[in-house]
Amino acid sequence: MFLSYFTAPSKDVFSVRDKSSSGTVGSVISIFDGKVFPNLDQAKIAIFGVNESRGAVIPNAQINMNCIRKEFYNLYLGSWDFEIIDLGDFKIGEKIQDTYFGLTDLISNLISIGILPIMIGGGHDLCYAVYKAYESFNKGVNIASIDSRFDLISENSTKLNSKNFLGSIVKESPNHLNTYTNIGYQSYFVHRDESHEMEKMFFETLRLGDFRSNIKESEAYLRNSDIITFDMSSIRQSDAPSVISPSPNGLFANEACILSRYAGISD
């Protein structure tokens, strides 16, 4: 069903997987090898990379998914009993709209068969394609975004991009957005007009300082989210030095881990 959408990871990734210690992610994960697709029947989580950056702040930015895989495969499993599969890297389209269409189709199908997709890489504009995947389910969509910015308005363009993806979602008609929550925004990165619009739409926002004073409060925001996006630029530069929009302020690494855990145990 999804074979044409993906390319396999590099050969050295399989070498790392084959040498993985017992009890690690690499010792149990099924990976697309370019010919045989992982069995979807028992899978509960599907991970894949997307190197689509044409709508990002830096259009030519790329993420090395193979390096991420090598580290991820060496992590030890938690106390869970479900299968994780690695679908490989999503093929970007000739035009960015083709990528959006393909991602929407892929994610909609994965969700319909009970598989949770985890997408790594790409610009924040890809959240629009993920949102569109829920249209076929005719239900309200709850989105939570861990981000130092709101990404509601782009001063230089009305075209969908990573700086205005939320605005594009809000303008959709018919609209299926039920709730939207931002966690970790920093006031000096947010235009006053964006703040006013967020208030008018009754969207929830949790400023970085407020989050830090009561971290556990964020769990409630993430608990019932259908879509959770995590912008790595929300982490301070000293803890995440390779982000596209670095800042000396932001989430600490341990706070990012806490939020990721909350996201993982959400409904």
Q: Mind listing the pLDDT tens digit for each residue in 189-235?
A: 999 999 999 999 999 999 999 999 999 999 999 998 999 999 999 99
Average pLDDT over residues 40-50: 96
CA nearest to 150, candidates 96, 208, 209, 63: 208
Q: Are residues 109 and 213 in the same domain?
A: no
Same domain, 91 and 198: no
Is residue 132, in this structure, part of any structural domain at all? no
**Residue 60 clears pLDDT 90, i.e. is over it:** no
Q: Checking DSSP bridges between strand 83-90 and strand 6-7, what pairing results, if any?
A: antiparallel
Q: Is residue 66 part of a domain?
A: yes
Instruction: Give the CATH number for residue 197.
Output: 3.40.800.10
107-155, pLDDT tens digit by residue?
999 999 999 999 999 999 999 999 999 988 988 999 999 999 999 998 7
What residue numbers bound the domain in which 76 lies?
1-123
Same domain, 30 and 104: yes
Q: Is 129 within the bounds of a domain?
A: no
**Among candidate residues 89, 123, 157, the one where a domain is terminated:** 123
Taking the C-alpha atoms of residue 73 and residue 199, their distance in angstroms, rounded to an integer, is 42
Please report, rounded to a whole number, the percentage of residues in the chain having pLDDT higher than 70.
Answer: 99
* Residues 81, 159 within the same domain: no
Q: Work out the pLDDT band at 267, boundaries 50, 70, 90.
A: low
Looking at the fold, whether 144 and 107 belong to one and the same domain comes out as no
Is pLDDT larger for residue 155 or for residue 241?
241
